Each structure stands twice: as C-alpha cells, then as structure tokens.
A and B are shown apart, each in its own frame.
Chain A
Amino acid sequence: MARILLVDDEPMLRSALRQYLEFSGHEVEEAGDGNDALELLRNGVPDIVISDVLMPARDGMSLCRALRADAALANVPFLFMTARGTQPELYQEMVQIGDGCIVKPFEPSDLLAEIARAIVERRPA
C-alpha cells in the first residue's frame, strides 16, 4: 500500500483515479495544481507523486523540479501523466527528472503497474 499524491486539474479524472487507486488499496491525496500539491507536501511526504503535466497554476514539470530541489522530497518517486503529442524535448526532460511517464488515455491497471515499478526502483537497496 502506498500513500499517493495525485495532482490533476481535472476533478472528474482525479476523482475516478482516486476511487480506483483507493479500491486498489492505496491511500490517495488530491491536489488541483502544482501549488496545492506543494502545500500538501508540507504536511507529509507521500510514497509517490502522480502528476498531470499541463496544469493552470504550476505545471507538472515545475512541481517535479521543486520536489527535486527540496532535500526532504528529492527522493520521492514522481510519475507523469501526459498526452500523446507531447514535444519530444519535454518528454526527454520528463524521463530525466521523473521516474516514469504514463500516456493518457491509459489502462488503469497499467497505472498500478507503473506505480509499483516506480516505488520499487526508487527504494534504496
């Protein structure tokens, strides 16, 4: 079971994913954008952050960079959710600073697999 911070500006998707993830046994906190997410991160460090890329206030890239810049959060696994058609350079950066990228629309089960993989890979040996 993992504590997941889910960041997306779409409430419906957020809600659906939250229910799916909770049903799958995870603990989920939601944030509408990057800033909300950072706010929540002050209260506690999740096991993984799953974030949309394009968001109104602070986007996923910025959020990820902020996490990486923070010593307490730098080691938190970070999964991007993105759409096909993303600029290749952006994609490269996502792969570099994040721990994975899952392309919307995705199969919910694939998301679970990705979460598991990202946490396992991040975990210190």
Chain B
Amino acid sequence: MTGTSSVRLAQILVGIVLAFTALILYRTSSDTIAHRTADDTRSLGSRVAQRESVRIDQTIGAIQSLKDALDDRPFSPASFVPAARATMRSDAMIDVIDFFDADGGHAVHVESAGRVRLGSPKAGEPVSVAGAEIYAVDLLLSETGVTRAIASSHVLHVHPRSAGSRAREKLYVYIAQPIVRRYEVTGTIVARVDAQKLIVGDLPQAVAAASYVLDDGSGHLETGSPGGIGGSETYAQTFSIPFADRVWSLTLAPPVADQRPKRWLFVLLWLVAWLAVSVPIEVVGQINRRVQVLNEGLEARVAARTRELQASVAELRTLAAVVESVKEGVMLVDADGAVTYANDALCRELGCKLSDLFGHKVYDYVPLALSKAQLEELSDAVRSHGFAYLETERPRADGTKYWAGITLTKHTEDEGSGGLIAVSRDITDRRRLVDELVHAKEELERQMRVRADFIGTASHELRTPATTLRTLSALLAGKVRPRYAFSEEDAKLLGILDFETRRLANLVDDLLEVAKVDATEAPLSEDDVDLCAIVRAEIEGTFALDAKSGPPVTVRAPAGGVYVRADENALRRVIVNLVGNARKFTPQEGTVDVSIERAAERVRLIVSDSGIGIPDQDLPHVFERFYRVERPGTEIRGTGLGLAIVARLVERMHGIISISSEAGKGTTVSVEIPAAQARAAAGA
C-alpha cells in the first residue's frame, strides 16, 4: 500500500515539476517572442523612417534643382512656368509652386493640374524671404486653410486652422527656396508639398499590419487606425523622420496577436509530458509492488530458512558436544581412508593430538594399528552388512598396549562416497575375561572329553567281565544252588550276588549309553516318524508281556498318527526309559499313563505315574548324571544315568523335557519335540 501512495506522490511531484517547467518555457518563449516583436518593430520602423526621409530628400532635391535652373537669370514667367511644371511632373508630391519676387510680390502661381496665374500677391501681406516672415498669398492661403505660415530658410510650415479636424484635412508642407543672383536674393520659390500623399498616405502600406501614430512635433498627428495605437503599447517604438529643419516622429506598435505565445499549447505540452512520465511510473509502481510482494515472500522464506538453519546448527552443536563427551573414541574416515574427524576420547585413548590424526591416512598412523588391506576388507564388510567389528591391539601413549574394539558403520550423511564412522573402546579387561573364560571352557571341555573317554573305555572294558560275572551268577543260582542244601543265610548271600551282578550289568549298560551320547559325534537323524506307532510298539513289545515287573501301562493318543521330526531310535530309548522309570517307582496296583498331545508346532509326550514321587529338593537335579534320589527303605536302585540320558537325547532332538512330582503322589514327565513340518501342515 505504501507503494501505491509513493507512486501517487511521485506522479504529483512530477506534475508539479512539469508545470513549473512549462511555466518557465512559456515565460522564456514569451520573452523571446517579445524580443523578436520588438526587433521586428524596430527594424520596420527604421526601414519606414529611412524610406520617408529619402522621399522627402528627393522632393527637396527637386525643388533645389528648380532653383538651380533659375539662378543667375532674370526672372521670367515664361521660363519659370515650364520649369516648375517639369519639376512637378518629376515629383508627384509637389502640387503647387509659387514665385515671390524680392519685394514679396507674388509673381507666378503654378499648379500641377495646369492652372497658372500671374499677378502680385495681395498688398499689405508681406512675404518673408530668407528667414523673414512671409505673408502668404490669399489664394494660396484660402485654398489650403493655412492661417499662418512660418517661413524658415526652406520650409514654410503651415499649421492647420483648427485642431479638431486636422486628420481629415489636407496636410501641406511648404518649402521655400530663395533664388540668389550675384549675392542678392531676387525671389523665393515656394513649393507646396502634399504631405498627405508624401508620408501619411504611404504609411499604412509601409508599416503593413502595425498600428502607428505620426507626430510632426508641433501637435500634428496622424494615426493608422481610428483608436490610436491599437497594438501592444508595451512594444511600441518611436522613430524619427528628419524633414528639412524639423523632425517627424513615427510611433509603431506590433499587432496584438504576435505578442504572446499560445497558453493552451503549454498546458497541452504539460499534460502530455505528465502522462508520458506518470504512465511509466504507474507501470513501474505496479512492477515494484509485485517485486515487493515477491520480496516479502522471499524474506519470509529466508527468515524461515534461517530459523531452520539456526535450529540445525544448535542440533549439530548438541550432537558435537555429545560426540565429544562420550568415552568411546569416535573417528570419521573418508573413502580414501583419511581421517576427517576424531573426538577427544580417541586422542586420549591413543595419547595423541588431533593434528596427528586429522587428514592423515588411517593406515599411515601406526598407533591405530589398521593396515590398508584390513581397512579395505572392513569397508567391504560395511558395504555388504552395514557394519563391521574388529578387535585390535594398539599401543598407548605410555608404551603399554590395550585392546580396542572397533565398530565401523556407514557414514550415512556421506552416502555413496564410502565414508566410515569408527567407534572404538578399550576392551582390554573384557577381552582378558573372555580369554580366561574361553580357556576355562576349553579346559572344561577337555576334561569332560577325558571323562567321557574314560567312562567309555572303562565301561567298554567292563562289559566282558560284567557279562562273565552275570553268567556265573546265573550259573550259581541255577546250577549250584539246587545241588547243595544252602542255609537260609547262604541263600540270601547268593541272592545278593545275583542282584548286584544284575545291577553291575545295568550300570555298565548305562555308562556305555552315557559315553555314547557324550562322545559320539554321529548326528541323530531327523525323520518324520509316527510317535503314536512307536509308543504303542514299544509299550506292547517291552512292557505288556512283562506284567510282573510293574503296573500296566495305558496309552492315550489321538486317532491316526502324530508325526514328529526326530530320530526313531533315540525316541524309542526315551520312551522305554521314561516308561521303565515310571513302572519301576510305581507299585503294582498303581497306574502309568502315556499320552500324546499336539501343541501347535510341537508334540507333547507325557508319561505320568501314581508312584512314590520325587522329593522337592531332588527335583531340580534329576536330569544330572549320577544323581540318585535317596530312597531309604526301598530296594529300588538306579544308576542315576537314565534321566540324564533321556534329557540329553531330547535336547539333541531340539525338544524340551520337564518334570513335576509330588512325593507319595506320583511323577509326570513331559517331553515336547517338534512336529513333522509337512505332516503338521497337511495332517493336523
């Protein structure tokens, strides 16, 4: 809006300035015209005055010639009249010529029209010649209406009779010319000049459109227009026309129309000039307003952008402060391997100055302990996996060494150029701990291997003597015992022997199993097998016939097969072991249930019994090897390996085993193994 008002103001100012300019131009041209008018008037006046002077001189000259012709000759009208007539023919302004003798007598009167009279002037009317007053001839005077004539040396000036009608009357001028013979005036020639014809009649033509006033200096006046000077009196100029011994004054005024320039022209000029300036100003103003609007928008955007920049700068500062304050060493490396940034922590870690690192290649700075090949390998890893990790041993400033764990990631702000961010920390302690742990683990594994080997070897070696003992014991029981009459006590001893050899055989059996599970690296197969079929087969084959050694086993399984992904032999061993255990610790009149359930992607095999149960304190340890639940008062003994073997087999089949029990109430063992994938999808 200020734009609009400033444009208006500019237009007004331009209008004012142009108005002043037009005024000045008007004044200047007005002056110029005035000067020119004055000059023209002057020039015209001079020309006219000179022309009239010449004509007067010519007339006077004509009379002079007449006088010269009459000089030195006695006056004779016969000669005078033709000469006078000749003079009048040559000069049309002279219309009457008189001759007065030395005594003032009027001798001849000649008119241009041809009238000639001879005679004396009236008596008593002196005619002054050569400076004397001439008393004009009656005739002459009466015709001209001259009341008085004053004769100077040459001119007889006749005043009009009355001032009122002078402009209408004939204006005559008399020129007296004395004739001198032998130094004696013998007469006077008086010529009447028609001034009206000579000057006044000629003026209107000579001055053209100008107004004029003619003054003979003694009250005579002649004007070119009825109202006096009709033009601009301001520019009126007066010129002298010398006439014999007197001067006529001619006043000229230029025509009114020439005096002033036309005002409307200047007003028009001003208007055109103002429009010529105002319209561009208007256009420029509009452009300005648009530019201003654009500028305002631009300024707003610049301001917003500036705020954003300030915000990001603040954020950057915060981030920089964070990066500087962390304990980890942070380093930026560009694609060529040059360090572009390193924080304080890294410098402290290495005991160096920032200038030692900045701009140098990573692999050129020995304390960083990174070779060029390593860096390239790490860069490749970062490119393909997004990050890379490296542990390397670096020297500290004090000469000691430490282990640095370096994580390298992509410099995301620097996408595509291959820049890296390396964050390193001192992992010496952790690494030492890990080393110790690894050593401990290796040692433990070695010891376990040794133990497993020992157990395996030992049990392997034991199998033959155990078989031998068992066979001998059986032989004793079968062959020797009936042959002799053993006392009750001896029979009991034999019974113990039989029992213990049997136990020994079982123990060797289990030990071998453990050794096998531990030592053989032969992997279990992973087949899709029908758990229900296996359970039924094992239970019918192993336990159903053996009704004496424990309670009957009931099986609950879904109709059709339940397929699992497992090793069939391992599965059989698990089932036999669990069911065998359950029967072993359950009285004859109790129950042993085996059930199979589908559970999502797994299959659950549950063996539960109503047996003697396991005390709470023992429950967490039942899967440990050689752990045996102390059961005072019972004769049931185990090797403490059965559940351990089961647990190990289940684990190797990617299964989970769990046990719950209540002393005196019974025990439930649950085994979850993965369902067969194809069957689970199609069959369930």
- In the bound assembly, the distance between CA atoms of A107 and B474 in angstroms comes to 8
**A contact residues around B465 at 8 Å (CB):** 12-13
**A contact residues around B464 at 8 Å (CB):** 10, 12-13, 104
- In the bound assembly, the distance between CA atoms of A109 and B478 in angstroms comes to 11
**A contact residues around B470 at 8 Å (CB):** 105-108
Query: Nearest residue in B to A24 (C-beta to C-beta)?
Result: B478
The CB with the most chain A CB atoms within 10 A, among B471, B474, B515, is that of B471
> B460-502, CB under 8 A of A: which get 1 and which 0?
1001111110111011001100000000000000000000001
Query: Nearest residue in B to A103 (C-beta to C-beta)?
Result: B509
- In the bound assembly, the distance between CA atoms of A115 and B466 in angstroms comes to 20
* Cβ contact within 8 Å between B475 and A20: yes
CB distance from B14 to the nearest CB of A (A): 115
* Cβ contact within 8 Å between B475 and A105: no
User: Which residues, 327 to 384 on B, are CB-close (under 8 Å) to A?
Assistant: none
Interface size on B, residues (CB 8 A): 26
* Cβ contact within 8 Å between A108 and B471: yes
CB distance from B639 to the nearest CB of A (A): 13
* Cβ contact within 8 Å between A84 and B509: yes
* Cβ contact within 8 Å between A20 and B474: yes
* Cβ contact within 8 Å between B509 and A13: no
- In the bound assembly, the distance between CA atoms of A106 and B456 in angstroms comes to 18
Q: Does B522 contact A (CB under 8 A)?
A: yes
- In the bound assembly, the distance between CA atoms of A109 and B473 in angstroms comes to 12
Q: Does A88 contact B (CB under 8 A)?
A: yes
- In the bound assembly, the distance between CA atoms of A106 and B502 in angstroms comes to 9
Q: Does A83 contact B (CB under 8 A)?
A: yes
CB distance from B464 to the nearest CB of A (A): 5
Assuming the A-B contacts A104-B464, A107-B505, are A85 and B474 also in contact, with contact meaning beta carbons closer than 8 angstroms in the complex? Answer: no
Query: For the complex, would chain B's binding face be called helix, strand, loop or mixed by DSSP majority?
Result: helix
* Cβ contact within 8 Å between B463 and A104: yes
Q: How many A-B contacts if CB must be within 8 Å? A: 72
Query: Nearest residue in B to A82 (C-beta to C-beta)?
Result: B463
Q: Does A17 contact B (CB under 8 A)?
A: yes
User: Which residues, 438 to 468 on B, are CB-close (under 8 Å) to A?
Assistant: 456, 460, 463-468
Q: Does B513 contact A (CB under 8 A)?
A: yes
* Cβ contact within 8 Å between A13 and B471: yes
- In the bound assembly, the distance between CA atoms of A107 and B509 in angstroms comes to 12
> A62-105, CB under 8 A of B: which get 1 and which 0?
00000000000000000000011100100000000000000111
Q: Does B516 contact A (CB under 8 A)?
A: yes
CB distance from B454 to the nearest CB of A (A): 14
Assuming the A-B contacts A16-B475, A23-B478, A105-B508, are A85 and B456 also in contact, with contact meaning beta carbons closer than 8 angstroms in the complex? Answer: yes
- In the bound assembly, the distance between CA atoms of A36 and B271 in angstroms comes to 149
* Cβ contact within 8 Å between B467 and A105: yes
CB distance from A112 to the nearest CB of B (A): 10
Query: Nearest residue in B to A17 (C-beta to C-beta)?
Result: B471
CB distance from B302 to the nearest CB of A (A): 83
Closest 6 CB pairs of A and B: A105-B505, A84-B512, A108-B474, A105-B466, A16-B471, A105-B467
A residues sitting closer than 8 Å to B (CB atoms) are 10, 12-13, 16-17, 19-20, 23-24, 83-85, 88, 103-109
